[in-house]
Amino acid sequence: MAIPGRAHLARTIRYRALREGLLGGSRPWLVVFVLLRLGAWSRRVTKRGPMPVRFSERLAVGEGLVIRHLPPDEGAG
């Protein structure tokens, strides 16, 4: 099954950048690989719209929720 033109080109470049840059040691392809990963990361970080709910639980009447940030020495162990 053939992949349409633009998607096929993007997939080929991603695959080649991974294979030749990261695994093969070619510096130009490694730069392409890093730029592609940075682009994907920035699209994910700057995505607009509602963020997905990670945890949801109903509280009964009178219950509360406490969110704290512990210093590193208290949070370990």
pTM of full prediction above 0.75:
no
Asked if 17 contacts 33 with a C-beta cutoff of 8 angstroms, the reply is yes
How big is the chain by its Cα radius of gyration, in Å? 22
Ordered per-residue pLDDT tens for the chain, 77 residues = 556 788 888 899 999 999 999 899 999 999 999 999 999 899 888 877 776 777 788 899 999 988 887 777 755 55
- The values of phi and psi at residue 33, to 5°, are -60, -45
Measured CA to CA, the distance from residue 32 to residue 16 in angstroms comes to: 9
Cα first-last separation, the chain:
53
